[in-house]
Amino acid sequence: MTPIRSNQSLKSIFGITLMAAALGLTACSTSPDTDPDVQARQDSMKNWGDAMGVMGDMAKAPDTFDADVFKEQAAFLAEDASTPWSHFENQESMGNATEAVWTNPEGFTAEAEKFQQVTTDLNAAAQTAASMDDVKPAFGEVGATCKSCHTDFKAETN
Ligand code: HEC
């Protein structure tokens, strides 16, 4: 759990959303299945899962390492890493996110920023990688960051 620093003002989009919610300004009848924000962020996450799968297969069988394919996936993650967060503004659009996204916006933002950092690092490592060994630590960091954010901020689904 990331501790909430209560002396820090909410400067993120989440703070604005919380204010809007308190003022009753947010829409309140969106269905989770068709909600465009939930759709957009789940689409991103699914694509990340696919990219991690491609790279993960190489991690499991290092002699199948293909530098060009790995580079492509790593570049995709780094580019898309900033995409989903603006789709978490409206708490009514809960999808499979937990309440913590809105009750601990600073913790969530910190995880999102960490993710952008580790995907940038992975992309950098991939540029010169000749084997899986060259990208393995950075790849591990990315996987750990997916997991660590999901622990607090993604609801258990079966
Ligand atoms: C900063 C937090 C955070 C990070 C980092 C993160 N996720 Fe997620 N992820 C979520 C949340 C929240 C949801 C639930 C979204 C929803 O249902 O609206 C989710 C949902 C998903 C889903 C389910 C999508 C669906 O169709 O319902 C997959 C797959 C997924 N994430 C994969 C990943 C992978 C792979 C990574 C790392 C490469 C990653 N996520 C990184 C927060 C994060």
Question: What pLDDT, in 10s, does the model give residues 75-111?
Answer: 999 999 999 999 999 999 999 999 999 999 999 999 9
Q: Which amino acid is at 55?
A: M
Q: What angle do CA 114, 85, 23 make, to 5 degrees?
A: 125
Domains detected in the chain: 34-153 (1.20.120.10)
CA of 84 to the centre of ligand 1 (A): 9
Contacts of residue 3, Cβ cutoff 8 Å, sequence gap at least 6: 107
d(CA 13, CA 67): 37
Whole-number pLDDT of residue 125: 98
Q: What digits encode the pLDDT tens for the residues 14-55? A: 444 444 444 444 444 445 467 999 999 999 999 999 999 999
CA of 97 to the centre of ligand 1 (A): 9
C-alpha dist (Å) from residue 140 to 22, 88, 137, 152: 40, 26, 5, 19
- Of 31, 85, 122, 154, the one to substitute when testing ligand 1's pocket (max ligand atoms within 8 A of C-beta) is 154
Whole-number mean pLDDT of the chain? 86
Could you tell me the distance, in angstroms and rounded to a whole number, from the CA of residue 16 to the centre of ligand 1?
23
Rounded to two decimals, the pTM is 0.82
